[in-house]
Chains A and B, each alone.
Chain A
Amino acid sequence: MSDEPILKIDHLGHAYGKFEVIRDISLEVPRGVLTALIGPNGAGKTTFYNAVSGRFRPTRGRVYFDGRDITGMPAHRIVSLGLLRSFQITNIFPNLTVIENVLVPLVLQHGRTYTLWRGLGREKALYRQAEEVLDKIGILEDARRPASELAYGDKRLVEMAIVLARRPKLVLLDEPTAGMNPEETERMIRLIRELAERFGTTIFLTEHDMKVVFSVAARIFVLHQGGLLAAGDPQTIRNDPRVREAYLGGAADA
């Protein structure tokens, strides 16, 4: 069971009309290995994530998560199996407090969705768990503030807390450092490294900042014009002439 890859993609493709945004992608993400998906802008990274996480049904191929075929399942069912994602644009509940942001996934996870007659304040166990997550991520002191009041980088951390509260088996992070200043980026990289260990979660991220990718990922897939161009460890990818060409537009020949 544990040798089985956490995510297995089989000939995945998605087309809008006749235009294929991604095509024939087959890859495996091993359990516990910090994996990255890179590629120039427009390579299809976000489309790939959307097809995997259930935003839409891919037009071709299958997606297997934790040994189960999840192709075409609605997003919330995929989440309940343990696959969660973050978004390129910060995606939180702005007018709820930070701790309420984290309580939302915990209410769902603990089957309190239709608990109508009990005060939320009496769910002490959920509050404790939410505080624990915020503490691990380092924003516990902001717990009672509305999320909209936080600095940009901290809002991204709130989203990380929302995603990690359910203790997912696999997390897809879509450009976790997008829009961050160097200091915030540094903090996020450290966090991603720690999280993989502390939460026992496999992380699969996209990123266009190569520094981030090469400093955190153990395994890298390169997407180019909708197809898979290369796969391997950071050293292999760094030295792959096709990858250089894709990124530098032929400059590698020189």
Chain B
Amino acid sequence: MRTTPSLRAGRLGFGAALLLLLVLCPFLLPVYWTLILTEILIMALFAMSFNLLLGYTGLLSFGQAGMFGAGAYAAALAILKGGLSLWLALAAGVLTAALVALVIGYLCVRRDEIYFAMITLGFGMMLYTVAHNWIELTGGSDGLPLAAVPPLTFFAWEVSLFDPRWMYLFVLGVTLLGTLVLWRVVRSPFGLLLTAIRENRDRLAFVGASVRNIRLAAFVISGALSGLAGALFCLFNNMATPDFMHWGFSAKPVLMTILGGAGVFLGPAFGAAVFFALEQATIQITENWMIILGAVLIPVVIFFPRGILGTILHRLNAGRGKSRE
């Protein structure tokens, strides 16, 4: 986990170039692609927060949409019923999702592997049903439409997010913030313990760790950031609907992470981009684009178990190792 100066400089350079490109995108691309990119960013944050559990802690959460949806509904309600500002709506989304994650996590983290996946799936389905049927609060299957998204304010400065370019830049900023949090967490001493759980939870318990509590902390952090992504998604779509909580929505970060690679920090984000690129490329040909997704996913799983980005980086590293010898 110690980084050499050259690796660090390389990472900083890559990050700066990527950031510049992302900032310029809305000014170079047509509005349609700006909208697609906004959605990619939100789903990238969602998938990366999910991967804190899968790739780092070794837990497959199949109910992540529960936290995503909780964040979306909390943001919508904060604006509709509370009349809160944009930033407070985001905060409400994060806090609500963290609270939901705390409750679900408390009941799930004692279980391992498939049992953990099934219990998270079960809670996700329950939350969907609540969102669907508690009509007074959630608007039922119609969801909660927002008449208007509050303006983006920064001290005295104010701008409307009605302009897709401003919406994109706002989402980019928040996504970067969430990514930075995740990056700090996985590089911290706590992050080392997460990988230790993935590697050998029994050994970890026998060197003095409460595996359950560490997993719960990871689940809450992951859930809070999924909730942040959900709140963004609500603002972006001008509404929160039960679909955000459907178990099919929980499958998205799983697919994106497997596509991109669970073992690489940016793997899930890369996977999210591939996911949407595939969708855009095929949706003009056929409405059943899931067939194409499946046709791509299966060979990736069989031939590139590290995922696409994971495989590319692995090859690059292997190549570098050889040239050094």
Measured CB to CB, the residues of A under 8 A from B are 53, 74-76, 79-80, 84-85, 87, 91-96, 100, 103-105, 107-109, 112-121, 123, 126-127, 162-163, 166
Contact = CB atoms under 8 A, between A and B. Distances in A.
Nearest to A117: B184
Contacts of A74: 205, 210
B216 to A, nearest CB: 11
A126 B189 CA distance: 10
B208 A79 contact: yes
Interface stretch (B113-121, B162-170, B192-200): B192-200
Contacts of B187: 119-121
B295 interface: no
A116 B224 CA distance: 15
Contacts of B209: 76, 108, 113
The 5 closest A-B pairs by CB, nearest first: A79-B208, A93-B199, A112-B189, A105-B207, A107-B189
Contacts of B199: 93-96
Contact of B206 (A53, A114, A119, A123): A53
Nearest to B199: A93
B203 interface: yes
B63 to A, nearest CB: 23
Nearest to A144: B2
B208 A162 contact: no
B192 A84 contact: no
B184 A103 contact: no
Given A76-B210, A79-B206, A121 B1 contact: yes
Interface string B154-191: 00000000000000000000000000000011011111
16 contacts: A79-B206, A84-B208, A93-B204, A94-B200, A96-B192, A107-B192, A115-B190, A117-B188, A118-B189, A119-B187, A120-B189, A120-B191, A121-B2, A162-B207, A163-B207, A166-B207
B217 interface: yes
Interface centre among B185, B187, B192, B207 (most CB of A within 10 A): B207
B6 interface: no
B188 A104 contact: no
B3 interface: yes
A166 B207 CA distance: 8
Given A94-B200, A166-B208, A113 B189 contact: yes
A171 B185 CA distance: 32
B207 A116 contact: no
B198 to A, nearest CB: 8
B205 A113 contact: no
Given A75-B205, A103-B192, A121-B2, A116 B200 contact: no
Contacts of A109: 208
A119 B3 CA distance: 11
B209 to A, nearest CB: 5
Contacts of B208: 76, 79-80, 84, 105, 108-109, 166
Nearest to B198: A95
A194 B244 CA distance: 61
Given A75-B205, A79-B207, A115 B196 contact: no
B16 to A, nearest CB: 19
Given A53-B206, A162-B207, A104 B3 contact: no
A96 B196 contact: yes
A2 to B, nearest CB: 24
Contacts of A80: 208
Given A80-B208, A104-B196, A109-B208, A119 B203 contact: no
A166 B203 CA distance: 14
Contact of B193 (A107, A126, A127): A107
Contacts of A126: 189
Given A93-B196, A96-B195, A113 B190 contact: yes
Given A76-B206, A95-B195, A163-B207, 4 more contacts: A96-B192, A113-B190, A119-B188, A166-B208
Contacts of A163: 207
B187 to A, nearest CB: 5
Contact of A104 (B184, B192, B210, B221): B192
A113 B200 contact: no
Contacts of B191: 120
B214 interface: yes
Nearest to B213: A113
Nearest to B195: A96
